[in-house]
Structure 1
Amino acid sequence: METRAELRRRIRQQRSKLTAAQQTEATQQLVDLLLPELLKRQVQHIALYLSNDGELNTLPLIQALWQHNILVALPVLHPFSPGHLLFLHYHPDSPMTTNRYGIAEPRLDISQLVPLHKLDLILTPLVAFDKQGNRLGMGGGFYDRTLACSNAPAAMGIAHECQKVSALPVESWDIPLPEIATPDALYQFSTPNLHL
């Protein structure tokens, strides 16, 4: 089996080979698949992320959620607790900054904080996933730590179909996802998750 580092490298290379047209089509397919599902579930407060490194573009989904008056929160690197995330309300006029990984995030403003227990769902990025719902991230453990919190809401991964692998090497700290959305399907897994 490939190591986690090898898998990350291979899947990120695959993802980077998608053309602009393929990315645009995949993004629209994801919105068409996911938005009706989120509305059906009556999600009112959702955490998302801004795409980076060839990830599916989340901006059209965010804009669609805004049109339905759904509060969107984005992750921010916790300033005092390394390796942890905060979630801040994100709206069209949010002042933004760039974190140490080169990813845009809302400027820290405690009045915009959305506590974990107020979120209905966290949509997480990932590098790869398998048929058991295991998720391979970028290696920082930010989402695993967040999802391990007792007050964390349900989570769903977002990925291109090319990010699916048959099996991932799993570590004790990895938190599997009960659902992963791709432009082609909404995969549901029978993963043990205390927050569902």
Structure 2
Amino acid sequence: MSTEHSTEPLTSKPLTTMEERTIALAGIFQNCKQVQTLASSGKVDGFYLDVAVKAILNTSPDDTLQVFQGIAGIRDGLTLVQQQLGNGDTKRNTELTRYSISVLFLANKLLKDQAMLKQLSDGIDKAQGQVEHFGIDHSNIYASLGGLYSDTISQLNPRIMVAGEPEYLNNPDNANKVRTFLLGSIRAAVLWQQLGGSRWQLLLKRKQIVDIAKTLAQR
């Protein structure tokens, strides 16, 4: 399933480090939310899948916002940051929290595994070549990225256990898309940590992160 989303030019205003961290965190939440939606309903928004694939393949961005194709590509994630970390009346999504914490933990382990980082880099190079041949929204691309996730991140412990309906999770195409979103969330989590993000940032800078997410989402 695909819905319409507005597009906009990437911002030319330099981002602060905290803005970049907030965008990376939004990327984690946004991808994990799509995992949750696809696993429970069998439906996927092609817009977010496109953003996830491009984020994985964009290994040399000018800034973190460019990874997600501008504000339009990460706005849902910024809203999720506000909902998950804010003190409002909105009930937190505990399953989304579980996925996100797991992703952050696995990204930390990944950054200490040089062999796996090389394997991921080689796999992404291969996928970039496939995009030139098939196009970015071809099932072969999702199969390639899904397989890459299975061969790398899925080998780290503890593995992310995706909850959902068996009829959707057992569908090979859906399974590849779920793994693609998970790989996209790892991409965002690696960015978060490379930018100095940590669990202490989430605890001590929570209000600042929420305020930044709100401001960015309104652009």
The TM tier, using the shorter chain, reads: under 0.3
Structure-2-length-normalised TM-score = 0.24
Choose between structure 1 and 2: higher helix proportion.
2
- Higher RCO, 1 or 2 (CA under 8 Å, sep at least 6)? 2
Choose between structure 1 and 2: higher strand proportion.
1
